[in-house]
Amino acid sequence: MNDSSPKGNAYYRSLARNISLTVVLVSLAPMILISALILYQYRISHYEKVEAHLVQLVQKHRRDIDAFLEEKLGDIQILADNFTYEELSDTGFLQDRLQALQKFYNNAFVDLGVVNKDGLQVAYAGPFRLGQALYSESSWFQAAKTQPYVISDVFLGLRGLPHFIIAVKQKWKSDVWIVRATIDFVAFNNLVQNIRIGSTGFAFILNKNGEFQTTPHGDIESGSHPYPEYLLAATPTEDRVHVFRGMNSKNSENIYAAAMLKDGEWLLVCQQPVSEAFSDFLKALKLTIMLLVLGGGCIVTMAIFVSRRMVNRIAQADLEKQVMNQQIVETGKLASVGELAAGIAHEINNPVAIMVEEAGWMGDLLEEEELRHSGNLEEFKRALDQIKTQGKRCKAITHKLLSFARKTDTRIEEVQVGEVIEELVVLSAQRAKYSNVQIKTDIEDGLPSVHISQSELQQVILNLINNALDAMEKQGGKLALSARMERDFIVVEVSDDGPGIPQANLARIFDPFYTTKPVGKGTGLGLSICYGIVKKMGGDITARSSVGKGATFRITIPHGK
Amino acid sequence: MSIANILLVDDEVAFVEAMTKRLKKRDLDITAAYGGPEALEVLDKNPSIEVVVLDVKMPIMDGIETLSEIKKRHPLTEVIMLTGHATVDSAIEGMKRGAFDYLMKPCELDQLISKVKEAAARKHAHEEKIIQARLKNITGRRT
């Protein structure tokens, strides 16, 4: 920023800051709002998609598991319905049935047994030695006595291995008896353990007490599950899939989808870490934030850059305005001084006229007889002539001053360039004398008149003369003015042998506000105004100079009208 | 007999006095006036004045106004305007209103005298023409 700015640097700094802030706010606010809105919409739709996927998965596997259980239950039911208590109580017969089932179901059934009303296993087919085992205290047996069938929770039982029981109650005469089958835990467990959601999600089954019915994934410890409230709140007949989020024991957030199995006794749960389920959204979020930061950075940089440039221009314009204002004041002062000078010049004419007339009268009297023989007659005459001569000189000076002061108009008229130069040389003679400058003129004879504004031509040439005198003010020198014809142009040259203009400055001397004079001495407008005037006349103005050898300004004015 | 009968009008008393003395010495019959109203008064009283030398810049009634009034009252009287440079435009304005010529101050006495002579000659020529016309008129009616 320009140090000489009229309003001070603090003003322009605050202006630049305000412009930057406004640009940044106006640009960033809509960008952030739109990004946030799009992200929000994307997040909602992505969540819905993930949830829908989980719900679908849970529903499918619930159907599969329920179908598995119902199938096995159906088989046992058929066995109980189609054979009598006596037939099934025959261990060999029961062994045959077990083999048939195992063959069909690829070993899903581990064993078969027939239990009487007192809980005593009257017949047993299977790998364990469980003949005559007493189940009267078993929970499944208690349940089987009151219900047509029972599918138990997974338990260790007498054999010490995880398994569960399918038991079907039958009536024979007035007593009840029960056909019991053990389902291979591995076969059942595989149904659930093979469920994979993404790369780290998995599934498991809980009973109503929150105990695992399948082998849980390593991340989960039995009894530390985060959803007992849900189990308590859920009704056994509820068909809906419940989706919710919660923290696990390792403090990472998971999304859960859960649905009831086995007539509301078991709960199938699918679990996936939120970081994985919403990884696409998180990626989009990261990308958006990155783009926002980059875009924001660009906007802020541009805003600062642009506002600085704008403020620099404003400061420059303010400076130019200030110089123009000074120039207007100066011009006004000059005009007043000009008017004053014109008034004085006019008033001087009267006393000078009187002096000249009185001297003339004295001359007349000297002609009379009695004074003719005075010894000093010749001296008197010489003195009177001198008064007349100096009176004429006064007249010439005041007339030139008056004509210069009066002709500030731009009326186009026939102008003799040579006369204008001579007139200006007379006006500048006194100043040149004090600066020890000799003025030479070389006006070609028979120059044609040109059709321009006389006062403007005067202004241009006087400006060049004054510049030359300024340049030679210290050490004096020679000023040469010439006018000649070159083809269709009148060429006027103003040459001095002052210090000259450095090559670097030469290209800029006709620019407005360019000055090499000390502060307060020049406005930097003189030559630019000259340039404008000469161009308006249809001519041209050029300068050539070398340091130490003076400068020459050349004006060409077309005369062909 | 004098070369011409002149009325010199200027508010600068010293100028008028010096000029009067010098012109009288050169056989001109000269009357002085120091303002427009006084000049008109002199002209009314003295119809033999042939040429008026009139300064343009004067108080109360300036040269142009005075000229208009003179031309209204005495159309045949010739007027030479005398002016400083700044009022050249008004001198030209005076020419348009019937002044014979203008001179710039300070002027050469010889130049002034020759202009006065020319003005007087024109006045005489005008008068001659008028007399001829009247004579013609009178003789024309008689025949």
Question: Please, what is the Cα angle at A441 between A436 and A446, to 5 degrees?
Answer: 170
Q: A388 in a domain, yes or no?
A: no
pLDDT in tens, A81-112: 898 888 888 989 989 999 998 888 877 888 99
Q: Give the residue from B140, B129, B97, B100 showing the smallest Cα distance to B117.
A: B100
Q: A394 in a domain, yes or no?
A: no
Q: Concatenate the DSSP letters of all residues of A296-334 into one string.
A: HHHHHHHHHHHHHHHHHHHHHHHHHHHHHHHHHHHHHHH
CB-based contact A357 B15, cutoff 8 Å: yes
Is A182 found in the same domain as A215?
no
Q: Give the residue from B15, B101, B115, B2 showing the smallest Cα distance to B48.
A: B2
Last residue of a domain, one of A187, A221, A237: A187
Reduced to 3 states, what is the DSSP secondary structure of residue A176? strand
pLDDT at A462: 84
d(CA A528, CA A512): 5
Q: A338 in a domain, yes or no?
A: no
Is A416 found in the same domain as A532?
yes
d(CA B57, CA A37): 88
Domains with residue ranges and CATH for chain B: 5-142 (3.40.50.2300)
pLDDT at B54: 92
Q: Is the model's pLDDT at A314 over the cut of 90?
A: yes
Distance from CA of B1 to the nearest CA of A (A): 20
Question: Please, what is the Cα angle at B99 between B96 and B100, to 5 degrees?
Answer: 115
Model confidence at A114, pLDDT cuts 50, 70, 90, reads: very high
d(CA A313, CA A386): 63
Last residue of a domain, one of A154, A171, A187: A187
Is A509 found in the same domain as A418?
yes
CATH of the domain at A252: 3.30.450.20
Q: How many structural domains comprise chain A?
A: 3
Q: Concatenate the DSSP letters of all residues of A533-557 into one string.
A: HHHHTT-EEEEEE-TTS-EEEEEEE
What domain range includes position A424? 409-561
pLDDT in tens, A504-533: 888 778 876 666 666 545 555 578 778 888
Model confidence at B10, pLDDT cuts 50, 70, 90, reads: very high
Record the tokens describing residue A238, joined without a space: 């509820």
Is A218 found in the same domain as A173?
no
Q: A73 in a domain, yes or no?
A: no
d(CA A299, CA A293): 10
User: Residues 40..99 of B with a Cβ closer than 8 Å to A: which?
Assistant: 57, 84-87
pLDDT in tens, B63-89: 899 999 999 999 999 999 887 755 566
Is A540 found in the same domain as A419?
yes
Model confidence at A238, pLDDT cuts 50, 70, 90, reads: low
Distance from CA of A512 to the nearest CA of B (A): 34
CB-based contact B15 A399, cutoff 8 Å: no
Among B85, B110, B111, the strongest candidate for a mutation testing the A interface, having the largest count of A CBs within 10 A, is B85
Is A556 found in the same domain as A429?
yes
Distance from CA of A337 to the nearest CA of B (A): 16
Q: How many helices (H) and strands (E) does chain A have?
A: 13, 17
Is A264 found in the same domain as A169?
no
Reduced to 3 states, what is the DSSP secondary structure of residue B3? coil
pLDDT at A410: 63
Last residue of a domain, one of A277, A296, A330: A277
Q: Is the model's pLDDT at A220 over the cut of 60?
A: no
Mean pLDDT over B15-35 rounds to 91
Asked which of A113-127, A519-533, B104-118 is least confident by mean pLDDT, the reply is A519-533
Q: A104 in a domain, yes or no?
A: yes
Is A168 found in the same domain as A203?
no
- Identity of residue A363: G
CB B50 within 8 Å of CB B78: yes
Of B94 and A314, more confident? A314
Is the Cα dihedral A128, A129, A132, A138 positive or negative? negative
Q: What backbone torsions phi and psi does residue A288 show, to the nearest 5 degrees?
A: -60, -45
Reduced to 3 states, what is the DSSP secondary structure of residue A375? coil
Query: Which residue of chain B is at minimal alpha-carbon distance from A398?
Result: B85
Residues A289-318: b if buried by 16+ CB within 10 A, e if exposed? eeeeeeeeeebbeebbeebbeebeebbeeb
Is A146 found in the same domain as A213?
no
Is A262 found in the same domain as A167?
no
Mean pLDDT over A200-212 rounds to 80
d(CA A15, CA A314): 10
pLDDT at A233: 57
B12 touching A, CB under 8 A?
yes
Reduced to 3 states, what is the DSSP secondary structure of residue A254? strand
- How many residues in total does chain A contain? 561
B141 touching A, CB under 8 A?
no
pLDDT at A513: 63
pLDDT in tens, A347-365: 788 888 889 889 988 888 8
CB-based contact A398 B85, cutoff 8 Å: yes
Among A345, A358, A392, the residue with its CB nearest the CB of B18 is A358
Q: Is the model's pLDDT at A404 over the cut of 70?
A: no
**What angle in degrees, to the nearest 10, is found between the helix axes of B88-96 and B63-73?**
10
Q: Give the residue from A407, A361, A406 showing the smallest Cα distance to A387.
A: A361
Asked which of A136-140, A333-337, A452-456 is least confident by mean pLDDT, the reply is A333-337
Centroid of chain to Cα A34: 15
Model confidence at A480, pLDDT cuts 50, 70, 90, reads: very high
Residues of A whose CB is below 8 A from B86: 342, 345-346, 402, 406
pLDDT at A275: 84
Mean pLDDT over A404-409 rounds to 56
Query: Full-prediction pTM beyond 0.80?
Result: no
Name every residue whose Cβ is closer than 8 Å to that of residue B106 and which is 6 or more positions away in sequence.
A349, A352, A353, A356, A357, A391, A392, A395
A544: number of Cβ within 10 Å: 14
* Complex ipTM: 0.79
B105 touching A, CB under 8 A?
yes
Record the tokens describing residue A326, joined without a space: 């000074």
pLDDT at A181: 92
> To the nearest whole percent, how much of chain A has pLDDT over 70?
88
Record the tokens describing residue A303, joined without a space: 């805003």
d(CA B102, CA B88): 9
d(CA A16, CA A64): 71
- How many residues in total does chain B contain? 143
Query: Which residue of chain B is at minimal alpha-carbon distance from A342?
Result: B86
Distance from CA of B16 to the nearest CA of A (A): 8
Is A203 found in the same domain as A119?
no
Asked which of A138-142, A192-196, A319-323 is least confident by mean pLDDT, the reply is A192-196
Among A342, A346, A391, the residue with its CB nearest the CB of B106 is A391
Query: Strands A196-197 and A201-206: what pairing?
Result: antiparallel
> To the nearest whole percent, how much of chain A has pLDDT over 90?
21
Q: A134 in a domain, yes or no?
A: yes
Radius of gyration of chain A (CA): 60
Mean pLDDT over B106-130 rounds to 89
Q: Is the model's pLDDT at A501 over the cut of 80?
A: yes
Query: Which residue of chain B is at minimal alpha-carbon distance from A367?
Result: B25
Residues of A whose CB is below 8 A from B14: 354, 358
Residues of A whose CB is below 8 A from B25: 364
pLDDT at B78: 92
Mean pLDDT over A301-317 rounds to 92
pLDDT at A3: 46
Model confidence at B140, pLDDT cuts 50, 70, 90, reads: confident
Among A342, A345, A352, the residue with its CB nearest the CB of B106 is A352
3-state secondary structure B31-99: EEECCHHHHHHHHHHCCCCCEEEEECCCCCCCHHHHHHHHHHHCCCCEEEEEECHHHHHHHHHHHHCCC
pLDDT at A222: 47
Is A235 found in the same domain as A167?
no
Record the tokens describing residue A409, joined without a space: 């108009």
d(CA A221, CA A212): 10
Model confidence at A236, pLDDT cuts 50, 70, 90, reads: very low
